[in-house]
Amino acid sequence: MTPATFQALVGMVKQRSGGVINPDQGYMLETRLAPLLKREGLPGLDALAQRLQRPGSESLAQEMTELLTTNESSFFRDGRPFEHLRALLPALHRARPAGQPLRVWSAACSTGQEAYSISILASELAEADASFAARRVEIIGTDITAAVLERARAGVFTQFEVQRGLPIRTLMKRFSQDGTRWRVNPDIAARCRFEKLNLLGDLRAVGRFDVIFCRNVLIYFDVPTKARVLAALAERLNPDGALYLGAAETAMGMATRLTPLPGERGVYALGEEGASLRA
């Protein structure tokens, strides 16, 4: 692959998804795009770059972009945000009128582990408190990559995937075995729906949320893109809600409306209005 091909391909990816691919990641293009090249009968990445110059290549460019996303996820990833949420959801429940659902968004949800972890948490809260059990919790998972959304909707995970982050008792209680795989139980799946959405696009159609998880995707964006996405997420957050970022991500110095909750790494609320749990 020539340097010009590399620049052209990574430029298309950045424009479509915001994802920055560095020059030392050329191998990733070679390996991830090999099946696409084979299917299209193209001898290599230089030929792909040429093909993508032709009019009518948008769906191929989109497919290439999705193949180059990183989709790693796990149940209850990093632990701590879910413990914070365990206290925040009942506080939001008490603050809302009866009949109004709590709305949670797993933005960049990948294969759905984050959305299902939140739903499992909601079930645990409902089982401990009859008043919370009467509260509807809606969880919307969105991602740019069609293939991961298909997997998220199926709600079926391998032994390896369930072993990462799920306590065995939770696995036995919330999943049923399906051959060598594990299927999330219908009551957990019922709170979750999954939709295709690009974080760089217009986010208004998803509505407003009490809780937004946007974790481990901003790390792939450059600073202006991060700032733009954080500002758009802040617009989608209810005044007393919270935004959770990944362990390596920060909104500091980027979106003035988002302020970190004291003592909580990666949890943000809107300005002075604050999340329900601000001290």
Ligand X SMILES: C[S@@+](CC[C@H](N)C(=O)[O-])C[C@H]1O[C@@H](n2cnc3c(N)ncnc32)[C@H](O)[C@@H]1O
Residue numbers of the site for ligand X (CB under 6 A)? 17-19, 69-73, 77, 108-110, 114, 143-145, 148, 198-200, 215-217, 246
Smallest separation, CB 203 to ligand X (Å) = 10
- Cβ-based burial of 244 (10 A; exposed 0-12, middle 13-18, buried ≥19): buried
Q: Residue 116 — φ and ψ, nearest 5°?
A: -70, -35
Q: How far is the CB of 143 from ligand X (least distance, A)?
A: 5
Can you list the pairs that 40-47 forms with residues at least 24 positions away whose Cβ atoms lie under 8 Å? 44/1, 45/1, 45/5, 45/6, 45/9, 46/1, 46/2, 46/5
Closest to ligand X by CB, 216 vs 238, is: 216
With tokens 């909750």, the residue in question is 261
Residue 240 or 249: the one with the smaller Cβ distance to ligand X is 249
- Token couple for 164: 């990462």
Quote the least distance from Cβ 148 to ligand X, whole Å: 5
Residue nearer to ligand X on the CB measure, 6 or 194 = 194
- Of 83, 79, 89, 81, give the one whose Cα is nearest residue 275: 89
| Nearer CB in complex with ligand X: 47/154 | 154
Minimum CB separation of residue 169 from ligand X in Å reads: 22
SS3 letters for 220-260?
HCCHHHHHHHHHHHHHCEEEEEEEEECCCCCCCCCCCCEEE
Q: How far is the CB of 77 from ligand X (least distance, A)?
A: 5
Nearest residue (CB) to ligand X, 175 versus 213: 213
Structure tokens at 150: 């298909």
- In terms of CB distance, is 126 or 214 closer to ligand X? 214
Q: In the complex with ligand X, which residue's Cβ is closer, 126 or 149? A: 149
Give how far Cα 8 sits from Cα of 11, 30, 32, 112, 192, Å: 5, 14, 16, 31, 37
Least distance from C-beta 122 to ligand X, angstroms?
18
Tokens found for residue 4: 């010009």
CB of 107 to ligand X, least distance (A): 7
